[in-house]
Amino acid sequence: MTDERINLIGLSREELGGLLAEMGEKPFRAKQVWHWIYHRGATDFEQMTTLAASLRPKLAERFSLARPGVSRELRSDDGSRKWLLEFTKGQEAECVFIPEEDRGALCISSQIGCTLTCKFCHTGTQLLVRNLTAGEIVGQLMVARDSYGEWPAPKGGRLLSNIVMMGMGEPLMNYDAVAKALRIVMDNEGIAISKRRITLSTSGVVPLIRRCGAELGVKLAISLHAVTDELRDKIMPINRKYPLEELMAACREYPGADNARRITFEYVMLKDVNDSPADAHALARLVKGIPAKFNLIPFNPWPGAPYECSTPRAMKKFADILNDAGYSAPIRTPRGRDILAACGQLRSETQRERMSLYKARIAAGGEDDHAKAPHPASS
Ligand code: SAH
Ligand code: SF4
């Protein structure tokens, strides 16, 4: 049975206020309900004990507080957790939490699949693409908080302290929903994660970088991956629309970027493609004048990928050159290897497993249920 109630998760404060006003409730009710949803993490209206007992069932009749469905939750020995979330039947994306000492970053998806087809990215090969709604984006954080029991979030030492929009999809191709979700996440009377603890990663949708800076002011990460238009055009088709010069100009103008809040340039290390010492020198020149730091990402191979990861030696040399030029350039160590925490992998792994199960069932003369077949693009 489908739930026809309106899900309150993902509505703006104004929208929530409007719905309650239609029921004849005063504005302070919206404030109370907001607090219960986003500060206390209520999953049921009956938990909202500051509301009149007669109001709670009325709310439950019209509204839900549904989180995305969790298809799988994996816990790594190193403390990482990963959720494979099913948003609507057969449409999945993932969410990964990477802990550090007394804090940690949750990696959130913005789309199912991605339209931008970067050559090294598995997500870009998936045919089925749809934008996630604001509720589905905030819902990922709610699932993670549920899992760690961080309701209300402890002051100071909370685990889920930071957010990176670096999961599946290109957040700036779904700007409206992402902006709406981040406004909910930043709201002081709810989840209250500050813009300084939120990083949005983009492949370089230049006009929306400007909007993101002006309207949201979150930290910026740029998936750069190449130092010439010639190579970037080839591995990241978005570069043909917004070439390096425009991208770098948008970074130079990005509000709030200073030495304390540097722009992160992500650089995936592709063997013999973009990893020469000359590339490293060119990279340092390219970002001159921008408060910048680098994140060197070892290429994470997937079946049929046209690239290999650079050698450890090449990566070390590359990092040394950037360090000598005065930049922080850690080689991101893969975390959560045992649960395949890297971008896109859990989803494809599960779908592969399902495809084998499905094929095995067919081979055994079992049910022939096409609805259960995984999407062919990711099998
Ligand atoms: N679409 C956004 C955010 C999601 S991708 C963006 O492109 O920035 C998150 C990061 O993972 C990006 O820097 C992306 O370039 C990188 N990435 C994608 N596929 C990868 C792979 N196979 N190995 C290593 N990094 C990869
Ligand atoms: Fe999309 Fe980012 Fe992957 Fe490129 S790297 S295809 S923009 S998710």
Distance, in Å, from the CA atom of 290 to the CA atom of 252, rounded to the nearest integer, reads 6
Q: Which of 109, 114, 199, 266 to mutate to test the pocket of ligand 2 (most atoms within 8 A of CB)?
A: 114
Average pLDDT, the chain: 88
Q: Tell me the pLDDT tens digit for each residue of 247-292.
A: 999 999 999 888 889 999 999 999 999 999 999 999 999 999 999 9
Using the atom order of ligand 1, give the atom closest to the CA of residue 309: 23
For the cut 90, the answer to whether the pLDDT of residue 220 exceeds it is: yes
Q: Is residue 94 annotated as part of the catalytic site, yes or no?
A: yes
For the cut 50, the answer to whether the pLDDT of residue 214 exceeds it is: yes
Q: Is residue 343 annotated as part of the catalytic site, yes or no?
A: yes
Q: Is 275 in the pocket of ligand 2 (CB under 6 A)?
A: no
Q: Is 123 in the pocket of ligand 2 (CB under 6 A)?
A: yes
Which of helix, strand or coil describes residue 43?
coil
Mean pLDDT is lowest, of 102-106, 169-173, 227-231, 375-379, for 375-379
Distance, in Å, from the CA atom of 158 to the CA atom of 85, rounded to the nearest integer, reads 23
Identify the residue whose C-alpha is closest to ligand 1 atom 26: 121
Catalytic residue among 25, 92, 94, 136: 94
pLDDT of residue 373: 34
Give distance in angstroms: CA of 365 to centre of ligand 1: 40
Angle, helices 206-215 vs 244-252, to 10°: value is 10
Distance, in Å, from the CA atom of 238 to the CA atom of 243, rounded to the nearest integer, reads 8
For the cut 50, the answer to whether the pLDDT of residue 339 exceeds it is: yes
Buried b (16+ CB within 10 A) or exposed e, 219-245: bbbbbbbbbeeebbbebbbbbeebebe
Between 310 and 3, name the one with better pLDDT. Answer: 310
For the cut 60, the answer to whether the pLDDT of residue 362 exceeds it is: no
For the cut 60, the answer to whether the pLDDT of residue 375 exceeds it is: no
Q: Is 286 in the pocket of ligand 1 (CB under 6 A)?
A: no
pLDDT of residue 329: 96
Between 298 and 91, name the one with better pLDDT. Answer: 298
pLDDT (mean) for 190-202: 95
Distance, in Å, from the CA atom of 78 to the CA atom of 338, rounded to the nearest integer, reads 9
